[in-house]
Amino acid sequence: MREPSETGSADGGRRGVLGAVATTAAAVAVGAAGCPSPAAPAAGEAPARTLGRTGAQVEPVSLGGEGILRTTGRHREAVPVILEALRLGVRYCDTAPAYQQSQDYYGEAFRAAGPKAREQVFLASKTHARDRDGALRLLDDSLRRLGTDHLDSWQLHDLRDLEELDAIFGKRGAIEAVEQARADGRVRHVGITGHHDPRILLEAMRRYPVDTVLCAVNPADPARLPFLTTVVEEARRRGVGVIGMKIMAAGRLLQDGAASATELIRYAASHADTVIIGCSSIAEVRENLGARSLSFPMPPAERAALEARVAPRAGRYDTFKAG
For the stretch 291-310, pLDDT in tens is: 988 999 999 999 999 999 99
Hey, where are the domains in the chain? 14-30+47-317
Q: How far is residue 206's CA from residue 220's CA, in Å, rounded to a whole number?
A: 26
CATH topology for the 14-30+47-317 domain: TIM Barrel (3.20.20)
Q: How far is residue 296's CA from residue 298's CA, in Å, rounded to a whole number?
A: 5
pLDDT of 292? 87
Residue 238 makes CB contacts below 8 A (sequence gap 6+) with 205, 209
Q: What are phi and psi of 114, to 5 degrees?
A: 105, 165
Task: Give residue 293's identity as a one-letter amino acid code.
Answer: S
With residues binned 3-state (H G I as helix, E B as strand, rest as coil), the percentages for the chain, rounded to 5, are: 45, 15, 35
For the stretch 197-215, pLDDT in tens is: 999 999 999 999 999 999 9
Give the mean pLDDT of 84-95. 97
